[in-house]
């Protein structure tokens, strides 16, 4: 991947994609191609084909996807599996047919079995049943992994698949109906602080443990892997440490400066009991995360305060970024 390579970042306005663009720009890559979903609907095979034919892309970072937390996955399962399968299929196939040299597919740690041993090694893929609350999304991501591996085997392409852990950072989705747990907490505690609310309600028991990776660390890892990794096997991207939802809530409460109580609702689903990835392979290649959770949370809350007037809402949820 040269600084003059024509690089397409699919999903450049999302959490992962925007971080990848920032990192590429900071490293001097000057030929970055970006299209909004209004300019290029990646679910439309004919439009995707025309785009690749016209643009002569060398490298692809496939970060475009329909994403969301437990609520969104429960309410829109058909949307999650359909849209992600369409996006992946159209982009990966067009990339092959128009001679893209390198492609990085962003998967997710939700591909691993619900009760996978912890920390989760790459070899655990397809080793058991998935978490029911996000199974359609996970199945789509697994299909994307297998598509990259199959094209590598049949056509000799060099497409890699990375499995990032839970992401957070600038350009995250803070909508309470469709966001993941960390940005939802930031918004809940912030609004409770402004309203002087007596308590903030958090779904579940607070016992599940999650690992959180700042989007800027993810971007750094993705670009590093595009330079140093060509294996057909998937590779995890994470920090190698996790935290309980209860501990996370306490941290965010402190950073936001909220003085009320935290009320957990055990009648709501917890999701997977624990999600910690094994990063032995990634560390062995020479990359480690640099942004601590404390530092990342403070940065993300500052960004939220500065940009909350421009955040996504439930009204534009169906729009793919």
What structural domains does the chain harbor? 7-173+211-242+275-291 (3.40.50.720)
Q: Average pLDDT in the 206-213 region?
A: 96
Which of 95-111 are b and which e, b meaning 16 or more Cβ less than 10 Å from the residue's Cβ? Answer: bbeeebebbbbbbbbbb
As a whole number, the mean pLDDT across the chain is 93
3 state DSSP class of 288: coil
Interval 130-169: pLDDT, tens: 988 889 999 999 999 999 999 999 999 999 999 999 999 9
Judged against a pLDDT cut of 90, whether residue 191 lies above it is answered with yes
Close Cβ partners of 19 (under 8 Å, ≥ 6 residues apart): 169, 170, 171, 215, 216, 218, 219
For 230-248, the DSSP string reads --SS-EEES-S--EEHHHH
CB atoms within 10 A of CB 204: 18
Judged against a pLDDT cut of 80, whether residue 32 lies above it is answered with yes
Residue 270: predicted pLDDT: 85
Instruction: Return binding residues for NADP(+).
Output: 11-17, 106-109, 141, 164-167, 180
Residue 315: predicted pLDDT: 36
Task: Kindly give the interhelix angle for 215-228 and 15-26, rounded to the nearest 10 degrees.
Answer: 60
3 state DSSP class of 153: helix
Share of the chain above pLDDT 70, in %: 96
Instruction: Return binding residues for substrate.
Output: 188, 203, 210, 270
Active site residues: 137
Interval 88-111: pLDDT, tens: 999 999 999 999 999 999 999 999
Residue 178: predicted pLDDT: 72
Judged against a pLDDT cut of 60, whether residue 46 lies above it is answered with yes
Q: Average pLDDT in the 61-67 region?
A: 94
């Amino acid at each position: 991947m040269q600084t003059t390579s024509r690089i397409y970042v699919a999903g450049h306005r999302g959490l992962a994609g925007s971080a990848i663009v920032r990192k590429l720009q900071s490293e001097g890559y000057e030929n970055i191609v970006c299209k909004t979903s209004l300019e290029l609907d990646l679910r439309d095979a004919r439009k995707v084909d025309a785009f690749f034919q016209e643009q002569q892309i060398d490298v692809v970072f496939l970060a475009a996807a329909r994403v969301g937390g437990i609520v969104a996955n429960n309410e829109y399962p058909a949307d999650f599996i359909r849209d992600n399968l369409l996006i992946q299929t159209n982009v990966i196939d067009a990339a092959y047919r128009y001679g893209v040299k390198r492609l990085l597919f962003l998967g997710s740690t939700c591909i691993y079995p619900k009760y996978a041993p912890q920390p989760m090694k790459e070899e655990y893929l397809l080793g058991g049943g998935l978490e029911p609350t996000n199974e359609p999304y996970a199945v789509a991501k697994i299909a994307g992994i297998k598509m990259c591996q199959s094209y590598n085997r049949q056509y000799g392409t060099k497409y890699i698949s990375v499995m990032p852990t839970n992401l957070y950072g600038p350009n995250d989705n803070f909508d309470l109906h469709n966001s993941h747990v960390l940005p939802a907490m930031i918004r809940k505690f912030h609004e409770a602080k402004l309203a002087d609310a007596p308590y903030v309600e958090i779904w579940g028991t607070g016992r599940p443990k999650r690992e959180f990776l700042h989007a800027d660390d993810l971007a750094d890892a993705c670009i590093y892997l595009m330079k140093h990794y060509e294996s057909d096997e998937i590779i995890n991207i994470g920090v190698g440490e996790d935290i309980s939802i209860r501990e996370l809530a306490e941290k965010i409460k402190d950073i936001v400066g909220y003085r009320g109580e935290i009320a957990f609702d055990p009648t709501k689903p917890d999701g997977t009991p624990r999600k910690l990835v094994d990063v032995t392979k990634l560390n062995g290649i020479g990359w480690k995360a640099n942004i601590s959770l404390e530092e990342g949370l403070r940065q993300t809350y500052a960004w939220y305060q500065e940009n909350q007037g421009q955040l996504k809402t439930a009204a534009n949820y169906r729009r793919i970024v």
